[in-house]
Structure 1
Amino acid sequence: MTAERSNAGSTRQRLLLEAMRLFADEGLNAVALRRVVQAVGAQNSSALHYHFGGRSGLVAGIVEQLGEWLQPRWSQRFDALARETAPEAMAVVEALYDPVMELYASKTYGPSAVRFLARLVWDLGQDGQQLSAELHAMPLQRAESLLRRHPWPATDTEILQLRLLMTMANVYHGLSDRSYLRRSPFGALALAHPDQADALRRHFYQYLVAGLQGA
C-alpha cells in the first residue's frame, strides 16, 4: 500500500469516528460537516465530500462500519444458540444485546457508537429508520425465530416483533441515558456505580425478558 493510499484510509477512518462522536453528542442534523473536517485536521476541506459525498453517505459509512463490528459477534452467538432445542429467553437476550454492551465498552467506539445508533432512527426520519432496519434485521429475525420455540401465550407474530423492537429501543436509549441513574427521581441509585455494572446488566436483562414474555 502506498503512503498516499494509507493516508487516505486514515483520513476516512478519522472522519468516520469524529463524525460519529459529534453526531452522538449533538444530533445527526445539528453538526455542520465542516466541523467534522476541522476536528480531524484534514488539510483538504473537500476530504469529506471525496470519501462520502455528503451527510447521508457519511452516516451510512458510520452505520456500515459499526455493522462490520457487530454482525460477526451477533452471528457467533446466534449460531451457538441455533444448536439448542429451545434456548432460554435470557440466552436469546444475551445473544442479541451483549454485542451492543461490548460496543459501548469498546475503546475504539465506546458510548458514542451507542448514542449514535439511538439517534439514528429519530434524527434522520425514514432514511435513518431504513439504515437501522438493515443493521438490525439479522439479529432481530434470528432472535424471533429462537423465541418462537417457546409456547408463550398471546404472542402472535406481530406482538412478539413489537416486543423485540421495544427491547431494542430500551437498550440503546437506556445505555445512552445511563448517567440518569445518578440523578433519577429516586436520587442516585447504587446500581449507577461502575462496580455494579454486572448487577445492572443482569437486572436490565431480566426486565427485557419479562417484557418479551408478557410477564
Structure 2
Amino acid sequence: MTIQSTDRTDIESRKKRADITRSSIMRAAEKLFAKNGIENVSVRAIIQEAGQKNESALQYHFTNRQGLIDAINFFRQTQVDSKRGELYVELLHRTATPTFREVCSLLVEPVFLLAENDPGVRQWLKAFSQGYASWTPTALKRNWSSMGNNTKETAKLLHSYLDHIDTDVFDLRIINAMRFIALSLSQQAHEKKAFRNADSDLFYHVLLDGITSLLSTDMSSETQEAVATKK
C-alpha cells in the first residue's frame, strides 16, 4: 500500500514537472515570437529563454518547432473558445432574444477580455494574428471549424439571424470577418498598453460595428447573380 502510494506520488510529481517544462517552453516561444517575429526565432533561443538545458526538451514535448507552434495555437484557441462559451451562456441568460450585434460580440469580446488581463494572450496576438489573416479561405474555414463547440454554436446562432443569406455567402462573410478581426487585433496588440489604453473601448466598439455590418448587410443583386451562376 505504501509502495503504491509512493509510486502514485512519483508519477504525479513527474507529470507536474513535465507540465511546467511544457508551459515554460510555450510561454518562452510566445514571448520571443512576439518580440522578434516567428521566422526569426531559433529553437535554441526558445530553449535558452525557457531555462532548459538542451533542445531535447522541445523535441520530447512537441516533436519539432511546428509542433510547438501548433500547441501554442491550440492552447490559446481553446482558451478563447472557453471564454466564448461563458459569454454565450451569460448573453442568453440575460436575454432570450439578443440583438444581432450582441451575438456578433461573441466573435470579438472573448479575445478582447482575455487580452486585457493576460500578457501571454497579447503576445500570442502580436505574434500570430497578422499571419492568420493571410491564410487561404480553405485553411481559415478548417481552422474555424476546429476551434471548439462554443465557437461552432456561435456560428450557428449567427446564421440563424441570417437565414435569408445564401450559405456559401455566409461562409465567405465569416471568413472575411475572421480576417478583419485578426488584422485589427494584431494592430491593437502592437499598441502601447494594448487592450488597456484610453482608446481601447472605442477600438472594440468600432471593430464590433464593422463585423456586424459585414455579416448582416443584404446581398446585392450582383452577389445574388453570382450565387445563381455558381449553382
Give TM-score scaled by structure 1 length.
0.77
Output the CA distance in 2 between the equivalents of 1:145 and 1:152: 10
* Structure 1 residue 146 displacement after superposition: 1.6
- 2:30 is equivalent to residue 20 of structure 1: yes
Match of 2:213 in 1: 210
Is 1:156 paired with 2:194? no
Aligned to 2:103: 92
Shifted more, 129-138 versus 195-204: the winner is 129-138
Matches within 5 A, 1:34-49: 34-49=44-59
Q: How does 1:130-169 map to 2 (within 5 A)?
A: 132-136=143-147, 138-150=149-161, 155-169=165-179
After superposition, the CA RMSD in angstroms is 3.4
CA contact (8 A) 2:103 2:157 kept: yes
| 1:201 partnered with 2:204 | yes
Change (3 A) 1:122 1:98: closer
Q: CA deviation at 1:122?
A: 6.6
Unaligned runs of 5+ in 1: 183-191
Deviates more, 1:197-206 or 1:122-131: 122-131
How big is the shift at 1:57?
1.4
- Contact 2:43 2:55 survives alignment (8 Å): no
In structure 2, distance between residues paired with 1:66 and 1:21: 14
Residue 9 (1) aligns with residue 12 (2): no
Inter-partner Cα distance in structure 2 for 1:41 and 1:141: 38
Structure 1 residues 158, 24: CA separation in 2 closer, same or farther (over 3 Å shift)?
farther
- Distance in 2 (CA, whole Å) between partners of 1:23 and 1:134 is 25
Query: Are 2:180 and 1:170 aligned?
Result: yes
Question: Normalising to structure 2: TM-score of the pair?
Answer: 0.72
What whole-Å deviation, never above 9, does each CA across 1:68-94 have from its counterpart, x for those lacking one?
A: 312221222334556766531111111
The structure having more radius of gyration, on CA atoms, is 2
Alignment partner of 1:111 out of 106, 109, 122: 122
Deviation per CA, 1:31-56, whole angstroms, max 9, x where unpaired?
A: 21111101112123311111111012
Q: Secondary structure at the match of 2:207?
A: helix
For each residue in 1:158-178, what CA deviation from the matched residue of structure 2 results, as whole angstroms up to 9, or x when unmatched?
111211221221112112112
Which residue number in structure 2 is paired with residue 30 of structure 1?
A: 40
Helix, strand or coil: the match of 1:44? Answer: coil
The residue type equivalent to 2:177 in the other structure is T
What is the letter of the counterpart of residue 122 of structure 2?
P
**Distance (Å, rounded) in 2 between the aligned partners of 1:6 and 1:193:** 33
- Segments of 5+ residues of structure 2 without an aligned counterpart are 1-8, 219-231
Conserved 8 A contact 1:118-1:172: yes
Q: Is the 8 A contact 1:27 1:123 kept in 2?
A: no
What is the aligned partner in structure 2 of residue 102 from structure 1?
Answer: 113
Distance in 2, matches of 1:40 and 1:152, equals 49
Q: How many residues are aligned here?
A: 205
Alpha carbons 2:137, 2:175 under 8 Å: kept = no
128-137 or 196-205: bigger deviation = 128-137
